[in-house]
């Protein structure tokens, strides 16, 4: 876990009060603002020109796709950038703007956007507007038109696309493809039965090729005309095609779908879907705002409430235990090896920090091999064929996750504690010894408190990091073993962030972006509260110092 | 691995005390109480730390391939797994390696540059909102980007509809997302370091007629090269391990990074592909570990600087 832990460091770098000796050059500026050199000016013009050229391209594309809100915001950003770099003065902004721009878009805006998604039903089956949903339903719910004629069909390709060539019962030849309505084809070659089987500019698929591309060919739906209500032509075998029509008829006036066979009516149920009187909904819905629904669901839905509480408790247990265990182990090792005259000290040190240098995502995967209950080294070799569920028993899986996380994290704490110990003045040690204190007493009453003052901010950041330590959990257990009391993919070692990922992008279950974002917002609030409290506490610690 | 308080460990360690390292000059008990137990702790910890790495190395060198087959450590030596690793067109390991390098190098270079500019502004200039800006950066880093992974995914899928080259499936889009985290952490590390460069240098240069750009590139950046290297390296290591966002953005196997690709090796059939996965893990880990150990001194001093100052 080299990086993420390191990334928290600056928490302390902030604490030493900024002690700039003098005011910087901006206030000095009146003396004389040296004109930039010619080379610099040219470079500036070229760079700004490139940025603006790109900006114009983006704005044009936004205009063409009619995304007015995005267009407005982008235009403002472009204006701001030009203003910052073209005006005189305002030097700090010129240095800060690029980084801040990325920060605002990909760190701040996305969090705000998460907040918005959390209040919608965005997800599989609810990812577009109502109009899109209506035409999608018309396209997908298709039935063969009763007594419609059979068309003879051949499959052609051009480039990477498949086309169907139809010969209708009267011998008329037409061609079309998914999204390309039927058009008359001229110059088609025909076989002995009168079926058109080739067309200049296209290649005809042989039987083996048809078999090989069956899935693609099944998906081809050639619209009969530009009105989706007219239906499509489809083939099941690559040689005959039939006309299919929407099985559901949409009436714009009453905003209802009617099943053409049973007459069942589906109306807008106000929750982003069409439903019949019994509450059965059509698979394709659309995105609407659902207010606090996602949050309410998280804490009231029986298949979610119990597991979610378990996950929240485990998230706290996991992060507190990880910090405590790594810190105690790191501190113990730091004390053990804080001896100048210990032989082999350097070798120990290098070997012990190896786990820290090993890429974090690989560690979880490697350990999952060692701990695998059926085939793993631990059960098979060390324990001689034992059958202990290191990753499948809920309690053992949690212990395994902690052990692996200690493996990953103790070198960091070892390094940090070694540094902190060495910076303690040696006089205090001597003075306390003179007063007759034992080694343990010196450690407990003097060294440890001093050490904690300097290390506390790192412990807090380490907690925040472990709170979202996705890699260890996901790579080692995938969150499993699954809870028995829910049909969702939630397990005993899941922490909140792995749950977010599984709800949003999990395999098997539908993607539910709304719920995932609501969970992310819950994490956000928890982390914000904890860091607010703990940073206040460390401020207090510093004052004591 | 047991975690003990120092006092308790002295007791527990003393009953297993027959370290071969004991010199004969002093009574054994005295030596052990002073130093011997430290070696016991060292050896035990080292085994705990190193064993998984040896295990994966051994699995990589055993072309038997399955998880069960890898259990006899170093029972076979051959390079079959490495050959298999580079010859599977469905899982282009070579491409993943290059992709990771490209994404990592571009991101970390840009991160260093953006971070250095911001640190220069915070360290050398006084402006309204400077303190608030620094504090905000400090706060923002408590909220890692992966929290907003859903929003990032939807934002990029929106971008794909306007500019496909920057949207989902594009490495450029991924790099842009990563650059959202360029300030924050890195700015802090650099800010502290920039402050140690005496301002009298800038002022002398200014009197000689240097512009702020010349001071930045010509003086400051040269004097803070070590911290630039550390930040760049840390960013690189971080990016090359990043899984969540990369797995969501990069869907085509040809454009994936090592983290996403290697996960796909063992996601479904952990046992069957084990040997080949291990070979991939070894190749993926070696450059990062080599860099880390090579620059260990700088990294550690950067680490401890943070903890000691307060």
Q: What percent of chain A has pLDDT over 70?
A: 90
At B8 the pLDDT is: 40
Give helix B274-294 / helix B93-124 axis angle, nearest 10°. Answer: 30
Mean pLDDT, residues A171-196: 81
| Residue A81 belongs to some domain of the structure | no
Q: Which of B35, B124, B150 sits opposite A520 (nearest CB)?
A: B150
Pairing, β A151-158 against β A240-246: antiparallel
> Taking CB atoms and an 8 Å limit, are B52 and A407 in contact across chains?
yes
| A468 within domain boundaries | yes
CB contact under 8 A, B117 and A368: no
Task: Please count the CA atoms within 13 angstroms of the CA of B177 that sit on its side-chain side.
Answer: 36
**What confidence category does residue A320 fall into, taking pLDDT thresholds of 50, 70 and 90?**
very high
- Residue B190 contacts A where some CB pair is shorter than 8 Å: no
- Tokens standing for residue A263: 């007459």
pLDDT tens per residue across span B277-287: 889 999 999 98
Min Cα distance B16 → chain A (Å) is 17
Q: How many other C-beta atoms lie within 10 A of the C-beta of residue B16?
A: 10
Residue A309's domain is classified under what CATH number?
A: 1.10.3720.10
Pinpoint the alpha helices (H) of chain B: 6-14, 28-31, 37-60, 80-85, 93-124, 130-140, 149-162, 171-179, 185-195, 199-207, 212-214, 221-223, 225-241, 244-249, 258-267, 274-294, 296-309
Q: Write down the pLDDT at residue A245.
A: 77
Domain contains A285: no
For residue B48, the chain A residues in CB contact (below 8 A) are 407
Measure the CA–CA gap between B244 and B260, rounded to whole angstroms. Answer: 8
- Residues of chain B positioned with their CB less than 8 A from the CB of A363: 52
Least CB-CB distance to B310: which of A336, A440, A542? A542
Report the pLDDT value the prediction gives residue A312, as an integer from 0 to 100: 93
Position B309 pLDDT exceeds 60: no
pLDDT of residue A77: 92
Distance (Å, whole) CA A168 – CA A151: 5
Cα B13 to the center of its chain, rounded Å: 34
Residues spanned by the domain of A216: 131-275
Does residue A271 surpass a pLDDT of 60?
Answer: yes
Handedness of CA A312, A313, A319, A322 (dihedral sign): negative
Residue of B nearest to A505 (CA): B248
Task: Classify residue A225: in a domain, yes or no.
Answer: yes
Chain A residues inside the 8 Å CB shell of B199: 20-22, 24
Confirm or reject contact between A8 and chain B (CB < 8 A): yes
Cβ contact (<8 Å) for B274 and A353? no
DSSP H or E stretch at residue A68: helix A68-86
pLDDT score for A541: 53
CA atoms of A511 and A493, how far apart (whole Å): 21
Instruction: Determine the residue of chain A that is closest to B206 in CA distance.
Output: A34
Residue A193: CB atoms within 10 Å: 8
Cα gap A163→A203, rounded to integer Å:
10
Q: What is the pLDDT of residues A44-94, one digit of tens each?
A: 889 999 999 999 998 998 888 888 888 999 999 999 999 998 888 888 898
Verify that A243 and A303 share a domain, yes or no. Answer: no
Contact residues, B window 140-169, toward A, CB-based 8 Å cutoff: 140-155, 158, 161-163
Distances (CA, A) of B280 to A96, B60, B71, B73, B233: 40, 8, 18, 18, 21
Using an 8 Å CB-CB cutoff, list chain A residues near B212: 25, 91
Q: With contact defined as beta carbons under 8 Å apart, do B124 and B117 qualify?
A: no
Beta bridge partners of A120: A289
Give the pLDDT confidence score for residue A538 in this predicted structure: 66
The set of residues, in sequence order, having a beta carbon less than 8 Å from that of B242 and lying 6+ positions away, is B178, B257, B259
Phi first, then psi, for residue B16 (nearest 5°) are -105, 35
Reading the block at residue B304, the tokens are 């401890």
Both tokens assigned to B17? 């005390």
d(CA A406, CA A403): 5
Least confident among A13-17, A271-275, A326-330: A13-17
pLDDT in the model for residue B307:
37
Tens of pLDDT along A384-404?
777 888 888 999 999 999 999
CB atoms within 10 A of CB A85: 16
Q: How far is CA A466 from CA A317, A326, A422, A474, A518, in A?
A: 10, 11, 27, 13, 20
Say if A264 is an interface residue toward chain B (CB within 8 Å): no
Q: What's the pLDDT at A9?
A: 37
The mean of the pLDDT values for chain B is 81
CB–CB contact B148 A110 (8 Å)? yes
- The residue with greater pLDDT, B31 or A141, is B31
Q: Stretch A281-310: mean pLDDT, rounded?
A: 83
**Confidence at A493, pLDDT banded by 50, 70, 90:** very high
**pLDDT band of B21, cuts 50, 70, 90:** low
Domain count, chain A: 2
Residue A539 banded pLDDT, cuts 50, 70, 90: low
Instruction: Report the candidate in B90, B142, B101, B81 with the shortest Cα–Cα distance to residue B282.
Output: B81
Nearest to A357 among B142, B182, B288 (CB): B288
Say whether both A210 and A310 belong to one domain.
no
CB neighbours of residue A46 within 10 Å: 10
Break chain A down into helix, strand, coil percent, rounded to 5.
55, 15, 30
| Ramachandran angles phi, psi of A430, nearest 5° | -60, -45
Report yes or no: B12 at the A interface, CB cutoff 8 Å: no
Q: Is B66 on the interface with A (CB under 8 A)?
A: yes
Decide if A118 is inside a domain. no
B62/A48 Cα distance (integer angstroms) = 56
Question: B59 or A399: whose pLDDT is higher?
Answer: A399
**A339-345 mean pLDDT:** 82
- Predicted pLDDT at B66: 65
Homologous superfamily of B93-267 in CATH? MetI-like (1.10.3720.10)
Which of residues A275, A309, A334 is at a domain's end? A275
List Cα–Cα distances, A290 to A294, A301, A536, in angstroms: 8, 15, 36
Percentage of chain B lying above the pLDDT 70 cut: 83
| pLDDT tens-place string over residues B137-147 | 877 877 888 88
What mean pLDDT, rounded, does chain A reach?
81
CB atoms within 10 A of CB B141: 26
Cα–Cα nearest to B78, from B59, B52, B101, B102: B59
Contact B70, B275 (CB under 8 A): yes
Q: Which of A106-110, A324-328, A481-485, A520-524 has the lowest mean pLDDT?
A: A481-485
pLDDT winner (highest mean) among A425-429, B73-77, B184-188: A425-429
* % of chain A beyond a pLDDT of 90: 21
Q: Does the beta carbon of B207 lie under 8 angstroms from any beta carbon of chain A?
A: no
Give the pLDDT confidence score for residue A182 in this predicted structure: 83
Residue with the larger pLDDT of the pair A285 and A431: A431
pLDDT (mean) for A349-373 = 88
Question: Which residue of B73, B135, B150, B234 to mutate against A (max A Cβ within 10 Å)?
Answer: B150
The pLDDT assigned to A349 comes to: 87
Residue A224: closest CA among A142, A345, A328:
A142
**Residue A327 buriedness (CB in 10 A; 0-12 / 13-18 / 19+):** buried
Closest-CA residue of B relative to A496 is B147
CB contact under 8 A, B310 and A453: yes
Whole-number pLDDT of residue A297: 85
Residues A411 and A319 in one domain: yes
Q: Which two tokens stand for residue A384?
A: 């001689």
Looking at the predicted complex, does its ipTM rise above 0.95? no
This prediction has a pTM of 0.78
Rounded to a whole number of angstroms, the distance between the first and last alpha carbons of chain B is 31
CB contact, 8 Å: A406 with chain B?
yes
Residues in Cβ contact with A84 at an 8 Å cutoff, skipping those fewer than 6 apart = A90, A93, A94, A97
CATH number at residue A226: 2.40.430.10
CA R_g for chain A: 33
Tell me the average pLDDT across A182-188: 82
Nearest C-alpha neighbor of A522 from the set A539, A500, A492, A506: A500
Cβ atoms of A407 and A355 within 8 Å: the answer is yes
Specify whether A206 is located in the same domain as A323: no
In sequence order, what are the beta bridge partners of A233? A222, A243
Write the residue in A28, A92, A468 that is nearest to B147 by C-beta.
A468
Check B188 against A411: CB less than 8 A apart.
no
Range name among A355-359, B242-246, B296-300 with the lowest pLDDT average:
B296-300
- Which pLDDT belongs to residue A474? 92
Write out pLDDT tens, residues B248-291: 999 888 889 999 988 888 876 666 778 888 899 999 999 888 88
In a domain, A12, yes or no: no
Lowest mean pLDDT among A191-205, A322-336, A449-463, B175-189: A191-205
Q: Where are the domains of chain B?
A: 26-85, 93-267
Handedness of CA A288, A290, A291, A297 (dihedral sign): negative
Cβ–Cβ contact A357 with B under 8 A: yes
Q: Please compute, for residue B84, the number of CA atoms within 13 A of its CA located in the half-sphere on the CB side.
A: 20
Radius of gyration of chain B (CA): 25
> Which helix (DSSP H) or strand (DSSP E) does residue A472 occupy?
helix A470-476
More confident: A472 or A230:
A472
Taking the CA atoms of residue A453, residue A454, residue A457 and residue A461 in that order, the dihedral angle to the nearest 10 degrees is: -130
**Residue B13's pLDDT band (boundaries 50, 70, 90)?**
very low
Cβ neighbours, 10 Å, residue A540: 9
Residue A45 inside a domain? The answer is no
Distance from the first to the final alpha carbon of chain A: 31
Q: How confident is the model at residue B49 (pLDDT cuts 50, 70, 90)?
A: very high
Higher per-residue pLDDT: A253 or A498? A498
Same domain, A218 and A251: yes
CB neighbours of residue A131 within 10 Å? 9
Which band of pLDDT confidence, cut at 50, 70 and 90, is reported for residue B176? very high
Contact B232, B114 (CB under 8 A): no
CB A147, CB A258: distance < 8 Å: no
Q: Do A440 and B59 touch (CB under 8 A)?
A: no
CA–CA gap between residue A470 and residue B244 (Å, rounded): 8
3-state secondary structure A92-138: HHHHHHHHHHHHHHHHHHHHHHHHHHCCECCECCECCCHHHHHHHHH
What are the tens digits of pLDDT across the range A97-153? 999 999 998 988 999 999 999 998 888 777 777 877 777 777 676 777 777 788 888
Angstrom distances, CA of residue B237 to CA of A107, B112, B181: 20, 13, 14
Tell me what pLDDT residue B269 has.
62
Q: Which helix H or strand E contains A197, and what residues bound it?
A: strand A196-198
Closest by alpha carbon to A234, among A172, A170, A148, A125? Answer: A148
Residue window 241-260, chain A: list those with CB within 8 Å of chain B: none
Q: Mind listing the pLDDT tens digit for each residue in A407-429?
A: 999 998 998 888 888 888 878 88
A173-177 and A240-246 as β-strands: parallel, antiparallel, unpaired? unpaired
Across the interface, whether the CB atoms of B148 and A520 are under 8 A apart is answered yes
Which residues sit opposite A248 in a β-bridge?
A259
Tokens describing residue A489:
């993919």
Segment A154-167, tens digit of pLDDT: 888 887 788 888 88
Cβ <8 Å between A415 and B303: yes
- pLDDT band at residue A18 under the 50/70/90 scheme: very low
Same domain, A450 and A313: yes
- A329 has pLDDT over 60: yes
């Amino acid at each position: 876990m080299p990086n993420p832990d390191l990334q928290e460091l600056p928490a302390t770098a902030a604490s030493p009060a900024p002690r700039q000796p003098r005011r910087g050059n901006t206030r000095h500026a009146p003396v004389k603002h040296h004109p930039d050199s010619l080379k610099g000016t040219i470079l500036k013009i070229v760079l700004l020109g490139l940025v603006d050229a790109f900006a114009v391209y983006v704005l044009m594309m936004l205009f063409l796709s009619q995304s007015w809100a995005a267009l407005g915001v982008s235009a403002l950003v472009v204006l701001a950038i030009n203003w910052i770099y073209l005006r005189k003065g305002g030097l700090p902004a010129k240095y800060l703007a690029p980084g801040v721009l990325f920060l605002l878009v990909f760190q701040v805006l996305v969090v705000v956007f998460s907040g918005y998604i959390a209040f919608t039903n965005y997800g599989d089956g609810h990812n577009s507007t109502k109009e899109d949903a209506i035409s999608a339903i018309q396209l997908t719910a298709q039935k063969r038109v009763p007594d419609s004629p059979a068309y003879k069909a051949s499959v052609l390709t051009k480039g990477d696309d498949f086309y169907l060539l139809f010969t209708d019962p009267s011998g008329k030849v037409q061609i079309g493809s998914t999204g390309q309505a039927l058009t008359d084809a001229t110059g088609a070659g025909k076989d002995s039965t009168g079926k058109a089987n080739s067309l200049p500019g296209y290649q005809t698929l042989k039987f083996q090729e048809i078999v090989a591309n069956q899935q693609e060919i099944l998906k081809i739906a050639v619209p009969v005309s530009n009105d989706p209500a007219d239906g499509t032509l489809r083939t099941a075998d690559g040689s005959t095609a039939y006309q299919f029509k929407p099985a559901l008829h949409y009436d714009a006036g009453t905003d209802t779908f009617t099943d053409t066979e049973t007459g069942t009516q589906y109306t807008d149920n106000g929750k982003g879907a069409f439903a019949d009187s019994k509450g059965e909904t059509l698979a394709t819905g659309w995105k609407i705002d659902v207010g606090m629904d996602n949050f309410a669901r998280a804490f009231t839905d029986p298949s979610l409430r119990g597991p979610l509480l378990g996950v929240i408790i485990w998230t706290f247990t996991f992060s507190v235990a990880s910090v405590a265990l790594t810190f105690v182990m790191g501190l113990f090792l730091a004390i053990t090896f804080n001896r100048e005259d210990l032989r082999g000290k350097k070798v120990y040190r290098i070997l012990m920090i190896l786990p820290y240098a090993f890429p974090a995502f690989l560690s979880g995967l490697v350990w999952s091999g060692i701990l695998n209950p059926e085939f793993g080294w631990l059960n098979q070799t060390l324990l001689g064929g034992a059958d202990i569920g290191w990753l499948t028993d809920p309690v053992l899986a949690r212990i395994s996750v902690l052990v692996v996380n200690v493996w990953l994290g103790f070198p960091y704490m070892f390094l940090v504690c070694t540094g902190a110990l060495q910076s303690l003045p040696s006089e205090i040690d001597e003075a306390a010894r003179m007063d007759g204190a034992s080694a343990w007493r010196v450690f407990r009453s003097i060294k440890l408190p001093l050490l904690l003052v300097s290390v506390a901010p790192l412990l807090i950041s380490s907690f925040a990091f472990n709170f979202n330590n996705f890699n260890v959990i996901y790579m080692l257990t995938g969150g499993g073993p699954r809870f028995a009391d829910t049909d969702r993919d939630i397990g005993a070692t899941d922490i909140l962030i792995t749950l977010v990922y599984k709800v949003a992008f999990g395999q098997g279950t539908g993607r539910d972006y709304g719920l995932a974002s609501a969970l992310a917002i819950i994490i956000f609030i928890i982390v914000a509260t904890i860091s607010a409290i703990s940073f206040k506490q460390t401020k207090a610690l510093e004052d004591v110092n | 691995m047991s975690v003990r308080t120092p006092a308790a460990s002295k007791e527990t360690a003393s009953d297993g005390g027959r370290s071969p390292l004991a010199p004969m000059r002093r009574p054994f008990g005295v030596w052990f109480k002073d130093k011997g137990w430290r070696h016991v702790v060292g050896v035990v910890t080292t085994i705990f730390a190193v064993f998984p790495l040896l295990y994966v190395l051994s699995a990589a060198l055993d072309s038997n391939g399955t998880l069960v087959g890898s259990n006899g450590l170093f029972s076979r030596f051959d390079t079959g797994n490495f050959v298999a690793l580079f010859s599977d067109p469905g899982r282009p390991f070579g491409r993943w390696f290059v992709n990771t390098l490209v994404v990592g190098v571009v991101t970390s270079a840009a991160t260093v540059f953006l971070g250095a500019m911001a640190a220069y502004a915070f360290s050398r200039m006084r402006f309204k909102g400077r303190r608030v800006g620094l504090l905000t950066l400090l706060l923002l880093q408590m909220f890692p980007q992966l929290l907003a992974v859903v929003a990032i995914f939807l934002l990029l899928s929106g971008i794909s509809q306007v500019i496909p080259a920057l949207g989902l499936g594009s490495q450029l889009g991924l790099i842009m997302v990563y650059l959202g985290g360029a300030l924050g952490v890195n700015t802090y590390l650099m800010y502290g370091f920039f402050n140690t460069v005496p301002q009298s240098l800038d002022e002398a240069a200014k009197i000689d007629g240097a512009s702020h750009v010349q001071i930045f590139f010509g003086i400051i950046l040269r004097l803070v090269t070590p911290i630039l290297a550390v930040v760049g390296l840390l960013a690189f290591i971080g990016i090359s391990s990043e899984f969540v966002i990369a797995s969501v953005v990069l869907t085509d196997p040809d454009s994936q990074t090592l983290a996403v690709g290697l996960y796909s090796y063992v996601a479904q059939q952990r046992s069957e592909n084990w040997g080949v996965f291990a070979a991939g893990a070894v190749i993926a880990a070696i450059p990062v570990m080599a860099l880390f150990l090579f620059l260990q001194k700088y990294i550690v001093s950067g680490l401890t600087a943070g903890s000691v100052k307060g």
